[in-house]
């Protein structure tokens, strides 16, 4: 033993780690600084947008804005109450159409879709996810507006539903796949039929995840303007009829933003603030509700 | 997942089991299961039907324009609704130039952010930074447009454009009067909008590079940057390119923010200060006011072209990302 040690000792001494050259160390430092700089450059516009939005939005927000319909050009005051309600109305129609179809597709993909056909559906839903929203607007115009002969809330809802489905389908699938196989097998073991297992056990276990997916889709379409331009079209007045043109918050913001009037610009900022608050509010409200019920269920 | 919901407790006693046993025999719920499966399959087929419907609508409604102009539609530079002359080249040009400009700005930034988060950042900073970059993706397009009109465009007009004209004006890309509004503004706002997409997918791709790669390169005496370049970025190349192409897909189809700042003039200009027009913007501006069947059909044909380009770009990107992350569970926000 000791022989071996004495023999290896001189060899160890001959190994020298060459010092890292100054050039290489400087490049390393430089790249780290550059990476930090990119983070700063990406966060800056985010802060700028939110900061400016809150600053301009709060200044322009008042009670009339939330309770009145738009005034004609030149008159001060007025608000976007009809657009806020109209947006919710169109989103409601969209969710009513899109959510069941999306969840159904997700169930199919996770419970029956481990095959070629399932892969095809997955591919199609990814493709659908990438279709520009304005193109979906054209299609909704073709299938609803042209048949009905006029713009309508329904057409807007159909466009938004088409945009929601792929997101909901894929997240539902992902969430259902997270449910351990053993839970399903336990249910089968009790003699519960497969459909009942899927609906009452698998889907129920994954509820919070599925709802998160739905909210993601909801948040994504809530601010969409392009597909509503020639479907819901916008309206200066109140409308809660499915077959009539309807005002929507994003549309109103767009119209006011590109107008030449200061008063309208002011209102566009207020509208943008309300839109962001509605989206964030809806998403977090549902998140909190879901986590509460999940906690209650676990007791 | 430690089951958030308790399972329904089985209330079957031996006696009740014998009572329900006949019901539970194989075949007892077969029709219900079949029906359920069929219904879910119906939903899944619904997605295919929707895609089919999109293609059908676009193809049928663009026939008129296709027959009138043929392939010349995409070479013609003249967009004149009054004389029913339609050439879409200015829109194609505007779409491509604004998207490429956006990528030129966004790619270094997004890759930098992704590298910082996965390789350099202290662990406690990871979650907040990724949260903030992804928050950018949650802002509606119309709000980006609003901000661009009132904040970005004035900055470009008073600071950036005079500077670019002075230093790089000789190239011809930065000449002409600085309006603020124009191709450059569209490119910048698009860049801000695609950064979250590219950086989150790049992050996902970088995080599946095996840890041994990093350790191996470090053991050879590399500095951290050399480790990132040789061990990480080189391994994730295909996936990063995929992420970039996915960002391109988003930029090509983006409508509202671009429409609000690009200037909306159907001309091809070399200077990035000049106003332009994109395929998506012309649809947003003119579709609901189009009079005449040929006019409408020409617009739908632009929509069809946009659709075909974006889905091919997206399909290509998916395949490239998949080639790197294959076999790994999808991880989104960690």
Task: Calculate the average pLDDT of chain A.
Answer: 88
What CA–CA distance (Å, rounded) separates B229 from A28?
Answer: 11
| Of B144 and A75, more confident | B144
Phi, psi of B208 (to 5 degrees): -95, 0
What CA–CA distance (Å, rounded) separates B134 from B294?
Answer: 42
Any idea of the CA torsion for A111, A114, A119, A121, to the nearest 10 degrees? -20
DSSP-derived pairing of the beta strands B79-80 and B85-86: antiparallel
Residue A15: pLDDT over 90: no
A282: confidence class by pLDDT, cuts 50, 70, 90:
confident
By C-alpha distance, the chain A residue nearest B23 is A191
Q: In 3D, which of B48, B68, B124, B135 has the Cα closest to residue B298?
A: B68
**Interface contact A28, partner B, CB < 8 A:** yes
| Of B157 and A19, more confident | B157
Task: Extract the tokens encoding A23.
Answer: 């050039």
Task: Extract the tokens encoding B89.
Answer: 């080249």
B-chain residues near A48 (CB < 8 A): 147, 151
pLDDT attached to residue B6: 52
What CA–CA distance (Å, rounded) separates A287 from B8?
Answer: 24
> Are residues A139 and B54, on separate chains, in Cβ contact within 8 Å?
yes
Q: What is the mean pLDDT of residues A248-275?
A: 93
Residue A107: pLDDT over 90: yes
Any idea of the CA torsion for B97, B98, B104, B110, to the nearest 10 degrees? -150
Helix (H) or strand (E) holding B80: strand B79-80
The ipTM value here is 0.87
Is the distance from CB of B78 to CB of B90 less than 8 angstroms? no
pLDDT attached to residue A298: 44
What CA–CA distance (Å, rounded) separates B240 from B76?
Answer: 35
CB-nearest to B149 from A31, A49, A257 is A257
**Interface contact A173, partner B, CB < 8 A:** no
Three-state DSSP class for A78?
A: strand
CB-nearest to B143 from A53, A219, A258 is A53
Mutate to test the interface with B, among A226, A227, A283 (most CBs of B within 10 A): A226
CB-nearest to A107 from B40, B133, B144 is B40
Three-state DSSP class for A70?
A: strand
Is the distance from CB of A265 to CB of B151 less than 8 angstroms? no
pLDDT attached to residue A165: 96
> Are residues B116 and A38, on separate chains, in Cβ contact within 8 Å?
yes
Residue B24: pLDDT over 60: no
pLDDT attached to residue B329: 43
B-chain residues near A208 (CB < 8 A): 4
User: If you count them, how many residues does chain A have?
Assistant: 299
- Specify which of A65-74, A287-296, B177-186 reaches the highest per-range mean pLDDT: B177-186
Q: Which residues on neighbouring strands pair with residue A246, listed in sequence order?
A: A233
What CA–CA distance (Å, rounded) separates B170 from A187?
Answer: 74
> Are residues B253 and A135, on separate chains, in Cβ contact within 8 Å?
yes
> Are residues A294 and B20, on separate chains, in Cβ contact within 8 Å?
no
Q: How many CB atoms lie within 10 A of CB A263?
A: 17
User: If you count them, how many residues does chain B have?
Assistant: 334
Q: Which residues on neighbouring strands pair with residue B80, listed in sequence order?
A: B85
Helix (H) or strand (E) holding B194: helix B183-207
Residue A21: pLDDT over 90: no
Residues 85-104 of A with CB under 8 A from B: 100-104
Q: Please report how the helices B183-207 and B89-115 are oriented relative to each other, as an axis angle in degrees rounded to 10.
A: 40
Is the distance from CB of A100 to CB of B269 less than 8 angstroms? no
B15: confidence class by pLDDT, cuts 50, 70, 90:
low
B-chain residues near A279 (CB < 8 A): 138, 140
Three-state DSSP class for B275?
A: coil
Does residue A116 come out as left (phi exceeding 0), alpha (psi in the -120 to 50 range) or beta?
A: alpha
- pTM (2 d.p.): 0.87
What CA–CA distance (Å, rounded) separates B303 from B148?
Answer: 25
pLDDT attached to residue A13: 58
By C-alpha distance, the chain B residue nearest A174 is B330
Residue B2: pLDDT over 50: no
Q: How many CB atoms lie within 10 A of CB B114?
A: 28
Q: In 3D, which of B274, B44, B280 has the Cα closest to residue A111?
A: B44
Identify the weakest region by mean pLDDT among A46-55, A122-131, A277-286, B193-202.
A277-286
Each residue of B105-154: pLDDT tens digit? 999 999 999 999 999 989 899 888 888 887 888 889 999 999 999 999 99
From residue A71, alpha-carbon distances to A63, A80, A246, A287 in Å are: 15, 10, 16, 37
Residues 241-270 of A with CB under 8 A from B: 250, 253-254, 257-258, 265, 268-269
Q: What residues contact residue A186 under an 8 Å CB cut-off, 6+ apart?
A: B7
Q: What is the DSSP string of A205-254?
A: HTHHHHHHHHHHHHHHHHT--GGGTTTTB--SS----TTS-B--HHHHHH
Residue A296: pLDDT over 90: no
Each residue of A191-242: pLDDT tens digit? 888 899 999 999 999 988 898 889 889 988 999 999 999 999 898 888 888 8
Is the distance from CB of B319 to CB of B325 less than 8 angstroms? no
Q: What residues contact residue B316 under an 8 Å CB cut-off, 6+ apart?
A: B242, B245
Q: What percent of chain A has pLDDT over 70?
A: 92
Task: Extract the tokens encoding B64.
Answer: 């008129």
B10 secondary structure, DSSP code = P
**Interface contact A59, partner B, CB < 8 A:** no
Distance of CA A202 to the CA centre of its chain: 24
Chain position carrying tokens 């947006």: A87
CB-nearest to A105 from B44, B51, B108 is B44
């Amino acid at each position: 033993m000791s022989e071996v040690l004495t023999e290896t000792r001189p060899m160890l001494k001959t190994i020298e780690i060459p010092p890292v050259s100054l050039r290489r160390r400087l490049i390393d430092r430089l790249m780290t600084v550059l990476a930090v700089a990119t983070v700063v450059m990406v966060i800056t516009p985010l802060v700028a947008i939110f900061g400016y939005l809150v600053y301009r939005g709060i200044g322009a927000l008042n009670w009339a804005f939330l309770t009145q319909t738009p005034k004609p050009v030149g008159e001060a005051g007025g608000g976007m109450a009809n657009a806020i309600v109209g947006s919710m109305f169109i989103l409601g129609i969209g969710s009513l159409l899109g959510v069941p179809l999306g969840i159904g597709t997700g169930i199919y993909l996770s419970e029956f879709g481990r095959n070629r056909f399932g892969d095809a559906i997955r591919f199609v839903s990814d493709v659908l996810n990438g279709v520009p929203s304005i193109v979906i607007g054209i299609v909704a115009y073709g299938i609803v507006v042209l048949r009905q002969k006029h713009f309508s809330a329904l057409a807007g809802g159909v466009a938004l539903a088409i945009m929601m489905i792929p997101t909901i389908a894929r997240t539902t699938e992902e969430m259902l796949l997270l449910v351990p196989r053993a839970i399903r097998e336990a249910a089968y073991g009790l003699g519960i039929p497969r459909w009942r297992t899927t609906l009452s056990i698998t889907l129920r276990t994954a509820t919070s995840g599925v709802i998160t997916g739905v909210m993601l889709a909801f948040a994504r379409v809530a601010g969409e303007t392009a597909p509503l331009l020639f479907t819901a079209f916008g309206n200066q007045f109140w409308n809660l009829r499915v077959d009539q043109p309807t005002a929507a918050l994003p549309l109103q913001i767009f119209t006011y933003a590109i107008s030449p009037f200061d008063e309208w610009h002011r209102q566009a900022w207020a509208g943008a603030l309300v839109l962001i608050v509605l989206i964030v509010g809806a998403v977090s409200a549902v998140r909190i509700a879901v986590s509460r019920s999940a906690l209650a269920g676990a007791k | 997942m430690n089951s958030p919901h308790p399972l329904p407790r089985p209330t079957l006693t031996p006696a009740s089991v014998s009572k329900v046993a006949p019901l539970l025999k194989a075949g007892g719920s077969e029709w219900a299961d079949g029906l359920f499966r069929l219904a879910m399959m119906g939903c899944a087929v619904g997605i295919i039907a929707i895609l089919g419907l999109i293609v059908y609508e676009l193809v049928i409604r663009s026939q008129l324009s296709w027959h009138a102009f043929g392939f010349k539609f995409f070479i013609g530079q003249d967009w004149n609704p009054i004389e029913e002359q339609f050439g879409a080249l200015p829109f194609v040009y505007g779409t491509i130039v604004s998207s490429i400009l956006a990528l030129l700005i966004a790619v270094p930034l997004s890759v930098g952010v992704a590298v910082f988060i996965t390789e350099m950042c202290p662990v406690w900073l990871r979650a907040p930074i990724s949260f903030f970059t992804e928050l950018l993706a949650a802002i509606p397009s119309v709000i980006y447009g609003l901000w661009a009109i009132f904040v970005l465009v004035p900055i470009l007009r008073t600071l950036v454009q005079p500077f670019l004209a002075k230093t790089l004006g000789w190239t011809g890309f930065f000449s002409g009067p600085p309006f603020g509004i124009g191709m450059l503004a569209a490119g910048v706002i698009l860049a801000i909008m695609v950064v979250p997409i590219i950086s989150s997918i790049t992050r996902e791709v970088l995080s599946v590079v095996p840890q041994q790669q990093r350790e191996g390169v470090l053991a050879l005496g590399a500095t951290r940057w050399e480790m990132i370049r040789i061990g990480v970025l080189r391994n994730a190349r295909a996936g990063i390119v995929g992420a970039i192409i996915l960002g391109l897909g988003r930029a090509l189809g983006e409508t509202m923010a671009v429409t609000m700042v690009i200037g909306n003039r159907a001309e091809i200009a070399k200077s990035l200060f000049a106003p332009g027009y994109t395929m998506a913007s012309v649809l947003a501006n003119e579709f609901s006011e189009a009079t005449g069947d040929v006019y409408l059909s020409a617009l739908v044909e632009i929509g069809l072209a946009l659709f075909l380009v974006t889905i091919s770009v997206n399909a290509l990107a998916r395949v490239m990302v998949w080639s790197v992350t294959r076999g790994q569970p999808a991880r989104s926000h960690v």
